[in-house]
Structure 1
C-alpha cells in the first residue's frame, strides 16, 4: 500500500527520512494498517522539525462513518503521542482543537489538534550534529519547548498528517520563527492527498 502523496512544492528544505507500512491497531473485528512517510527539516537546530503523512487501510473494508471516525481519531491521538515520545518529546499536553480545510476538494474538513511538550536533547547528539538546542546551548539546560499538530480527515479513506517543531526564535536560522514553522507545517498538511486523488 502506497503512503499518501505529500506535495513536493511544499517540501523545499525537507528530506524524507522514513517510509513504512505497519499494523496501526486492532479493535475487535477491525484491523487498521497505516502506510506512513516521514520528513525532517534539513536544518541544524535540534530538535529538528518533522512532519508525517499516513494513509489507513481498514479491514474488513469499511467506508468512513461517525463511529469509525471517533475510533480512528482516538487511536490517532494515542499513536501520535507515542511518535512524539520516540523523538524525546515528553509531558505532552493537548492545547486545543479545531477544524481546517484541506486542499483536496474531495476531502472532508480535518480535525486538527494542537499539543505542547518538552523535548529532551541528547548533548552528544547536539555536539555530533554541530547543532545547538533552542535554548541556545547544548541541550543540557532542560527540555526544549515543542509544539505539535495532528490532523485527521477522510476522502474515501482516512488520512492523517502532522508534525512538530521547536518553539523559541533561537531555534531558527536566517530570521525564521516558530510562526513560520507552524504555517509551513499547516501548508504541508493541507496539501496531503490520497494516491488515488493525484
Structure 2
C-alpha cells in the first residue's frame, strides 16, 4: 500500500490530553432550562391568544372613540304654590307626625285653611309620597316634596275623592321613613 503524503500536521507532537475546544455541557441542567422556557413560551402564547380573541369578539376595544362629556340633566326643583290645598294623611303609628308636617307647611307660607291633617286608615305606609291628580300639578307636587325635606312624587287619582274643596289639591301620605316607631313590614296598598 502506498503511504499518504506528509504535511505539516504530521509533525505536531501528540499529547495525552484533549486537543481543541471540545467542551461538553453539564449533564442534567439542559432539561430543566428547556422545560422552563417551554412553559414561559406557552404562557405567553395563551395570554396573547385570549387577548386576541377578546379583541376579535369586541369585548376589548384597543382604541376607544373619545366619548363626549355627558352634561348632567338639571334636577327639577318644582314650584312652591301655596294656593293649592294640601291634604296630609298620617300613614304611620306616630300620632303627631301629621300635625308636625302641617306646622311645617304653615311655616313655609301655606295658610291654615289650606292645610288639612288627619290620620290614615293604615299605619304602615312605606315611604312619604306627594300625590297629584293632574299632570299640570306635577311641578307643584315636586316643590311641595322639596319643602317637606324630600319625598317621592307620584301621579294618582286615588285621593281625588278626598278633595271636597272644589279646587286643586295635593295629598301627602306620611310614610314609615319619617316614623320613629315603624312596624316591621310596610303595607303595599295606598293609604286612605
TM-score bracket for the superposition, by shorter chain length: under 0.3
TM-score by length of 2: 0.21
Larger Rg: 2
**Greater share of strand:** 1
TM-score by length of 1: 0.20
